[in-house]
Amino acid sequence: MRSQLTPSLKVAPIAERPGLRTLAAERTRAWFNVRAAAPRVGAVVLYAVAMAYVESAAVLYLRTIYGGVDPVGPRHSLFDPLPNFFWIEMGREAATMLMLASVGYLAATTLVGRIGAFAVAMGVWDIFYYVFLWLFAGWPESPLAADILFLIPLPWWGPVAAPILLAAVIVGAGAAAMARELGDGLPRPRRQDVLAVLVGGGLCLVAFMTNAFVALPDGLLAAFSVRGGPFPWPIYVLGAAVGCAGLIRALIHVPP
């Protein structure tokens, strides 16, 4: 009697259920939750732009004291002898990194999200630093103008286009990492992807510090006294390509 009253249920195979087919297909693709990440990315960008304004103003004052905004151009300083701000400058750069890392930490709740936010902050800061210098002083006059980029551990030299291009890459990668972490979660990166990013980043650093490395046999003072020089574009391009490949593979990877 019970068997007659109980309706028979026919369960369709998964292949015949389009909803589950779609869900299974979605699991094979990375999900970037852009809507959830947008407010956080926007807040980090605003902070980095404001910080770039302060940074470019400080550098403008400092280079004016030294006699010119262009680090490889002629200098006409009103100070003789010139004040030595070397250790203050190194401390300022270290403090800048700590400030960017702090806002990255506050902008997310996971390690991946925090690294992504730090990358966004650093990249936007670097790009707008040159935007504001150009607005304030008309420099750089060209994307290929040489600049001293960083002092730790040795001076980084290169055309302004080189750090700007890398900054754009890390902004995109950082924002993508934040969106992926808020989507389906960024999986643990594979060793080959981490190696590609490290090798690519290392090659770019070698390109930026090549002139300092060349002068280093004459002493640390000689390395820090270098004012520009030929930029090794092949090393830089190779490093950027290898690093970008590793970043893209890591960001879109979906574990089996």
Domains in the chain: boundaries: 32-252
Nearest to 56 by CA among 124, 129, 135: 129
Q: What is the mean pLDDT of residues 110-115?
A: 93
CA distances (Å), origin 204, targets 117, 121, 162, 208, 240? 22, 20, 9, 6, 7
- Alpha-carbon radius of gyration of the chain: 25
The DSSP output letter for 227 is: -
The residues with which 157 forms a beta bridge, in sequence order, are 148
Q: Output the average pLDDT for the chain.
A: 85
User: Is pLDDT above 90 for 205?
Assistant: yes
User: 79 falls in which pLDDT band (50, 70, 90)?
Assistant: low
User: Is pLDDT above 90 for 43?
Assistant: yes
Burial classification of residue 130, based on how many CB atoms lie within 10 Å of its CB (0-12 exposed, 13-18 middle, 19 or more buried): buried
Torsion of CA 19, 21, 27, 31, to 10 degrees: -50
